Amino acid sequence: MTNIVGIDLGTTFSALSILNAIGKPEIIPNADGERLTPSAIFFDEENSDIVRVGIEAINSRHLNVERSVRWIKRHMGDANYKRKIDSKEWTPVELSALILKKLKQDCSIEHGDIRDAVISVPAHFDEVRRKATMEAGKQAGLNVIGIVNEPVAAALYYATTRKVSGKVLVYDLGGGTFDVTIMEVNGHDMKIVCSQGDHALGGIDFDQKILEILEQKYKEKFKADLISSDEDRAKFEDEAEDIKKTLSRRNVAKKMLYGPAGNMKVEITREMFEKAISSLMERTDILVEVALGEAGIEPAGIDKVLLVGGSTRIPLVQQRLEKMFGKPPETAVNVDECVALGAALHAGLTMLREKPDAVSAGISSSLMDINLTDVCNHSYGTICAPVDKETGRRVIQNRIILNKNTPLPCETSQTFYTLKKGQAEVEVTITQGEGTDAEFVNKIATYKFELPPDRPAECPINVTYSYDVNQRMHCKFEDVESGRVLEVDLSLDQDGNMTETNKKEKKRQFASVAKAKVE
């Protein structure tokens, strides 16, 4: 029987969990004995094929920041982002693959080969970022059987380990991202209602606010900058993080600042910190309200608030949630680990569905009564040209066909019409995003659909989108009169129409990651 693992690939920390023989998830410590592995990479100065991942990378970066990488999750899916180390340019996918390779490697020491895995992503991650995460897993040598939203993974873990029922709000504030997911839970039956999230809001932004305070205080005293190099920045970022963590336990944090113009003792109170992060907290409040609005629920209608992510340790977070919902949030489980644990459960559920023969009886019996209904994470549509009622002109518009938060599996259709007499083809574009403005949505695929010639205008074309529980999307464009059909499958593990250049690049990336000796 295969090992079934779940991986939380976080902005600041990552963790791997495996389903044990009786279907319970367990965190597997890394080779250093730590349950959480910092998502940090350092390329050895003598030999860039030797890559340190984890705490060693954190410690090494003060020596040479240019050879260290942190927070790569923030750049996932960004085709323009590259990190140059010696003569090689590393992409976010390759760098994430190095972190995953470390986790896989360390887990394999005790548990043998690790292949089938589910990797978690923030709920608001779009198709591009999800695909990139899956690709990173493949490059690390994993068979990525699914991608799960982090709040869903956490809620899965909560629901299977303690009594949770009713309308549940999962508040996931991690190192780099923020998600809020609303679910309906009834024992082991879980239905996702909706999700909202911020791709760049997390602990590292709170650290940055503290760093700004330190810089300001230093400048006030010495009339000079605190930070004069990248190594300084790395050092003081760590100190800022330290202060933040102290302020979660105490009302004041005291530090000695050793700067280029002199040394000073600095005192930061919890009040100062809370004031500094108030604009960031405002953003989380807005997203919670937006999610409640989407779900059509008032705060009083939420039965339980679950906290996920290390940044929820900040007292202000818990206070604001208690004020909003009239009840304290749930803090019983380890907020750093519940995503990885839940991801392993999700991996088990996926294996039960896809390859039940590969699942041991113990795991099977433990998971068989769990029922998770996921939703479409984003809206999907197509570009069309309707007539604007007010101006009488044709406008290019995005028309949503599959709405965000539609329970999976789902299928919907809409009918469109050709524009001109004799129209011999239609350019069909599959979009992801909200709203009707075509400029602001992501165009994920475009195809030419050929039509019979010499026909009048306004011939109907049926467009059907379907999305299954394995996050595979199927798009069908059908010319009603002739019966001609164009069918497209979009799934996270497909490459679509890759050019030769892209194929070569992909091969090169695989080779780079395989060649790297991860320690």
- Of 323 and 353, the one with the shorter C-beta distance to other proteins is 323
- Of 437 and 505, the one with the shorter C-beta distance to other proteins is 437
> To the nearest whole angstrom, how small is the minimum distance from the Cβ of residue 500 to other proteins?
22
- Of 163 and 393, the one with the shorter C-beta distance to other proteins is 393
C-beta of residue 123 within 8 angstroms of C-beta of residue 197: yes
- Of 80 and 87, the one with the shorter C-beta distance to other proteins is 80
- Of 278 and 482, the one with the shorter C-beta distance to other proteins is 278
> To the nearest whole angstrom, how small is the minimum distance from the Cβ of residue 52 to other proteins?
30
Cα–Cα distance, 67 to 434 (Å, whole number): 39
> To the nearest whole angstrom, how small is the minimum distance from the Cβ of residue 431 to other proteins?
11
C-beta of residue 18 within 8 angstroms of C-beta of residue 29: no
Interface ranges with other proteins (CB under 8 A)? 77, 79-80, 124, 126, 128-129, 196, 198-200, 278-279, 282-283, 286-287, 289-290, 293, 390-393, 433-435, 437, 439-442
Cα–Cα distance, 35 to 32 (Å, whole number): 9
Give me the helices (H) in 140-229, please: 150-161, 203-222
DSSP label of 487: E
> To the nearest whole angstrom, how small is the minimum distance from the Cβ of residue 202 to other proteins?
14
> To the nearest whole angstrom, how small is the minimum distance from the Cβ of residue 476 to other proteins?
25
Cα–Cα distance, 157 to 475 (Å, whole number): 33
- Of 200 and 511, the one with the shorter C-beta distance to other proteins is 200
Question: What is the DSSP secondary-structure string of 4-68?
Answer: EEEEEE-SSEEEEEEE-TTS-EEEPP-TTS-SSEESEEEE-SS-TTEEEESHHHHHHTTT-GGGE
- Of 425 and 458, the one with the shorter C-beta distance to other proteins is 458
> To the nearest whole angstrom, how small is the minimum distance from the Cβ of residue 200 to other proteins?
8
Question: What is the DSSP secondary-structure string of 261-299?
Answer: TEEEEEEEEHHHHHHHTHHHHHHHHHHHHHHHHHHT--G
C-beta of residue 13 within 8 angstroms of C-beta of residue 39: yes
Give me the helices (H) in 357-496, please: 361-367
- Of 439 and 454, the one with the shorter C-beta distance to other proteins is 439
> To the nearest whole angstrom, how small is the minimum distance from the Cβ of residue 197 to other proteins?
8
- Of 117 and 287, the one with the shorter C-beta distance to other proteins is 287
Q: Kindly give the pairing relationship between strand 4-9 and strand 116-121.
A: parallel
> To the nearest whole angstrom, how small is the minimum distance from the Cβ of residue 15 to other proteins?
25
C-beta of residue 348 within 8 angstroms of C-beta of residue 19: yes
- Of 359 and 376, the one with the shorter C-beta distance to other proteins is 376
3-state secondary structure string across 365-383: HHHCCCEEECECCCCEEEE
Cα–Cα distance, 378 to 294 (Å, whole number): 13
> To the nearest whole angstrom, how small is the minimum distance from the Cβ of residue 72 to other proteins?
16
Number of neighbouring beta carbons within 10 Å of residue 503: 11
> To the nearest whole angstrom, how small is the minimum distance from the Cβ of residue 278 to other proteins?
7
Enter the tokens of residue 100: 């995953």
CA-CA-CA-CA dihedral for 464, 151, 320, 378, to nearest 10: -20
Enter the tokens of residue 356: 């039940």
> To the nearest whole angstrom, how small is the minimum distance from the Cβ of residue 277 to other proteins?
12
Closest to 15 (Cα-Cα) out of 34, 43, 42, 40: 34
- Of 55 and 128, the one with the shorter C-beta distance to other proteins is 128
